[in-house]
Structure 1
Amino acid sequence: MTSNPTSSPDPIPNIATASEAFHTGDELRERWRALMGPLGFSERLLWFAFVDTTGHILPALNQLPLDGPPEPYLADLLMYRLSDVIDGHDVVSVAMLITRPGADAITPWDRGWARLFTTAADLAGVAIEPIFRANAVDLVQVSDPRADGRSVA
């Protein structure tokens, strides 16, 4: 949902909903929205969390700075490390959110990182959920045509 002067602000779900299971991309977006609270970010970060077999985001959120342009080495290294955590029993996938300053639409930078994370996850055998991006005005899914058929927890 993109905000504009005539639309109502994107409501922040109650933080208690962040611990509820999700089964669709819209529900995952709502979990991220509850976790992030008011929008507006001063740094470029990747937030990621593990998802269990029941579709719950595990309580520990992790951050990784995304200081420069999309970097394949960083994406590959992250997914390689995450592949050690994904065990298929307690943790089955990873949810990711890119946050950054600005009030613009999805940019090539956003798509570039999402594409790299998706490709690296495929190569490392890491199941990921749809990737989202948040800035000062909205929290939206970064569409990847190769991932459109991906199921969510």
Structure 2
Amino acid sequence: MASLSPVDVFSSFDKQKILKLDEYYEDEFSSADLLSLDDQLGNYITNMRRDDRFWGLNDLSELSMKLVETKKCQVFQQVYLLIKLVMILPVETASVERAFSSMNYVKNKLRNSMGDQFLNDCLVTFIERNIFLEISDDDIMKRFQEIKTRREQL
């Protein structure tokens, strides 16, 4: 992430480290995209360092907004995608940590023998409890009855 930082006119830019990020996002980048990304990164850093509109930026969110404002997100599409993915990473990490934390509440020593499907169902209801509080118990029971009936018909 630091290699993409715009601080001090992109002083931390490291093309090789940025290219390693593609390993984490292989579903997002085809082999052709990776070749394009390699080329784009060279053009991107030269362009960014020459354009004084990008000087003085403090973080990736400011950089992404400036890329959109100047429409350079269209010129450097793979780089922009990578910046967006890197910005999402902390949020996704927090979501996973929250799910594991919730699992400790749901699957304690007393319920350690529950199956994966039941554990998954319990986790969904625990993590999304605010949504479930808005739904009446009768509606939930009705929905499960409909599912049960459909399964029996198959």
TM-score bin, normalised by smaller chain? under 0.3
Higher relative contact order structure (alpha carbons within 8 Å, sequence separation ≥ 6): 1
Which of the pair has more CA radius of gyration? 2
Higher strand fraction: Structure 1 or Structure 2?
1
Higher helix fraction: Structure 1 or Structure 2?
2
Q: So what's the TM-score if we normalise by structure 1?
A: 0.23
